[in-house]
Structure formats: C-alpha cells, structure tokens
Chain A
Amino acid sequence: GEDVEQSLFLSVREGDSSVINCTYTDSSSTYLYWYKQEPGAGLQLLTYIFSNMDMKQDQRLTVLLNKKDKHLSLRIADTQTGDSAIYFCAVSFGGSQGNLIFGKGTKLSVKP
C-alpha cells in the first residue's frame, strides 16, 4: 500500500535553516501536505503543494517537490525555538482529497 517515510529526528541551532525530508510511493497524489504538531495538541496544516508545482514559498517556509524521485522537503529559514514540534508529511490517496496517509513525523529540536 501507500507509504510515506520521514526521518524521525532533526536538531538545529536557532537561526539556522531546517530541512525536513519525506519520500512517498503513490505518484497519483494531487496535493502533498506538511502538518505541524506542538506538544499536547492536534495537528495543524502548515502548508501544502499542488503536484504540478516544483516549489512553493510561504514566508519562512519553502516546500520543494521532486515528482520523479517522489521526494518532498520542507525548509524552515531562520529557525526559532518556537518551531520546535513534530512535522508530518502527508499525501492523499484513494482519489479522495481528504484521505491522507501520514509519515511517522520528524521531531524538530531547536537549540538556543
């Protein structure tokens, strides 16, 4: 079945850039998403990219999509301690936009 893989941990220093990577198997996904989960809370949509785009930039966030390699990345510029959270990559499946398969999440730790 559909699979989404992410590395589990990433540690960076405040002010550096963070890059979180994700690979997926279903090439039919129309939208690909990044969600953020802060401790004790539910997930919140951070950003998304349409499958016919290579890049999307939103303030400090840059999403890169390589459809050929089925690779998605999230870059956070000037990472702050408030960015410490778990970041989930997700892709849609089954032809329904709301049916998402999530990766296991990457825990980002930002050191002052």
Chain B
Amino acid sequence: DAGITQSPRHKVTETGTPVTLRCHQTENHRYMYWYRQDPGHGLRLIHYSYGVKDTDKGEVSDGYSVSRSKTEDFLLTLESATSSQTSVYFCAISSGGHTGELFFGEGSRLTVL
C-alpha cells in the first residue's frame, strides 16, 4: 500500500468552527490532491498541489483552503464549516508519471452539525 495517512479519520464538529484535515505521505510524490465523495456526486476535486507552496483550485474549491509547506504534508482547511461540507474526504498522491496513477488514502469522514 502507498504510504498515505489521513488524520483525523473521523470528526464531528459544529457549524461555524474551523476544521483542518491532514494528509501525510512517505512516498515523496510531487502531486497531492484533496477530493470529497458524496452520494450521487462521486468524487470531486477540491484542491491539488504540484509542489511545495504550489497549489491550485479544483472543481469544488469554495469554502476550502489548502497549504503545502513540506513535500510530505498537504493540509485542507475549512475556515468556517457548514453542513454542506459534511462528506468523506480523500487525499490522493501521484508521482506525475506517464500514466497519472493516483494512490488514495483511506478517507476522513467529517460530520458538520
């Protein structure tokens, strides 16, 4: 299995509170991604990073920010969580090789009450 760790794996929080999810990799891969998975929507890309301090928006970036200060860590922050951000969040990594294969973490389930 690819060395990807997401934390926390489960979190319940209240509307309006800040939340940070962490993705840690031991593969030294250049690219890192945050997706959210929701019933009826599949996986949607939130933000991605193509290097330290280099990030870009995905399809559903509103309400989310990211930071990557080290190759191994990619943080996803919800500045003020809303109920619509209740979801399962997946981190993925890629070496950016020819086939673009993504390796996924096990997911972080976030519930916003």
B74 at the interface (CB under 8 A from A): no
Q: Is the beta-carbon distance between B104 and A97 smaller than 8 angstroms?
A: no
A42–B43 contact, CB under 8 A?
no
Q: Which residues of B contact A1 (CB under 8 A)?
A: 59
Stretch in B12-20, B75-83, B95-103 touching the partner: B95-103
How many residues of chain B have a CB within 8 Å of chain A? 28
Contact yes or no, A98 B96, CB < 8 A: yes
For residue A56, CB closer than 8 A to chain B, the reply is no
User: Is the Cβ of B104 less than 8 Å from the Cβ of A99?
Assistant: no
Mark out the residues of chain B between 38 and 56 whose CB falls within 8 Å of any chain A CB in the assembled complex.
Answer: 40-45, 48, 50
Q: Is the CB of B42 within 8 A of A104?
A: yes
Q: CB-nearest residue of chain B relative to A94?
A: B56
Neighbour of B45 across the interface among A40, A99, A103, A104, CB < 8 A: A99
Question: B33 near A98 (CB under 8 angstroms)?
Answer: yes
* Total count of chain A residues near the partner, CB < 8 A: 23
Encode contact with A along B72-95: 1 for CB under 8 Å, 0 otherwise: 000000000000000000101010
Contact A98 B100 (CB under 8 A): yes
| Selected contact of B104 from candidates A44, A92, A105, CB within 8 Å | A44
Question: Please, which residue of chain A has its CB at the minimum distance from the CB of B31?
Answer: A98
Tell me whether A88 and B43 are in contact (CB under 8 A): yes
Contacts of A12 in B (CB 8 A): none
Whether the Cβ atoms of A31 and B100 lie closer than 8 Å is: yes
Binary CB contact string for chain A from 66 to 103 against chain B (1 if under 8 A, 0 otherwise)? 00000000000000000000001000100011111111
Which of B35, B42, B59, B96 lies at the interface centre, i.e. has the most chain A CB atoms within 10 A of its CB?
B42
Cβ < 8 Å to B, chain A residues 1-34: 1, 31, 33
Give Cα A9 to B81, complex, Å.
32
Report which B residues bind A (CB closer than 8 A).
Answer: 31, 33, 35, 40-45, 48, 50, 58-59, 90, 92, 94, 96-107
Q: What are 10 inter-chain pairs, A to B, with CB distance below 8 A?
A: A31-B100, A41-B106, A42-B90, A42-B92, A42-B107, A97-B96, A98-B48, A98-B94, A98-B96, A98-B100
- Minimum-distance CB pairs A-B, first 5: A97-B100, A42-B104, A104-B42, A98-B94, A102-B43
